[in-house]
């Protein structure tokens, strides 16, 4: 099993573009980072934090998301996503997450991921889908 230290941190950044902004409000100036994309980027920051520490045959899958989207981030503004390992219990990993745009904190919360063996996981998915397992 991988050794993942408590307090281990990782950061990633992105620019809010039209591809990750809401567009249903009808006003171009109201386009901001969409919550589903915010959550996805936070999840990926957590995954990418620990992926280099895992065995080559392992990855992580998200199981719990508890995020508060605190403020809007407009098109063209950069956002920084921060993940910190706060608990390790066997294969269960818990992270404290936060996101910051160029002016303020825009999100905070926790996220849980489980370490999985990718081939075993793929076989379970194949079986569930009624396809032959390897």
Return the active site residues. 35, 43, 69
Query: Are the CB atoms for 32 and 16 separated by under 8 Å?
Result: yes
Query: How many residues in the chain?
Result: 134
Query: Are the CB atoms for 9 and 84 separated by under 8 Å?
Result: yes
Question: 92: burial class by Cβ within 10 Å (0-12, 13-18, 19+)?
Answer: middle
Cα first-last separation, the chain: 23
- For the sheet with 9-15, list strands across it: 9-15, 78-89, 92-101, 105-117, 58-69
């Amino acid at each position: 099993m991988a050794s993942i230290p408590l307090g281990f941190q990782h950061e990633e950044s992105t620019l809010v573009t039209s591809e990750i902004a809401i567009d249903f409000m009808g006003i171009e100036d109201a386009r901001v980072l969409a919550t589903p994309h915010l959550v996805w980027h936070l999840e990926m920051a957590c995954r990418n934090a620990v992926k280099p520490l895992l065995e080559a045959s392992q990855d992580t899958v998200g199981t719990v998301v508890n995020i508060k989207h605190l403020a809007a981030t407009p098109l063209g503004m950069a956002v920084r996503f921060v993940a910190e390992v706060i608990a390790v219990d066997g294969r269960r990993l818990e992270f404290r997450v936060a996101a910051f745009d160029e002016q303020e904190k825009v999100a905070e919360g926790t996220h849980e991921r489980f370490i999985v063996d990718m081939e075993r996981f793929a076989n379970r998915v194949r079986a569930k889908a009624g396809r032959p397992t390897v």
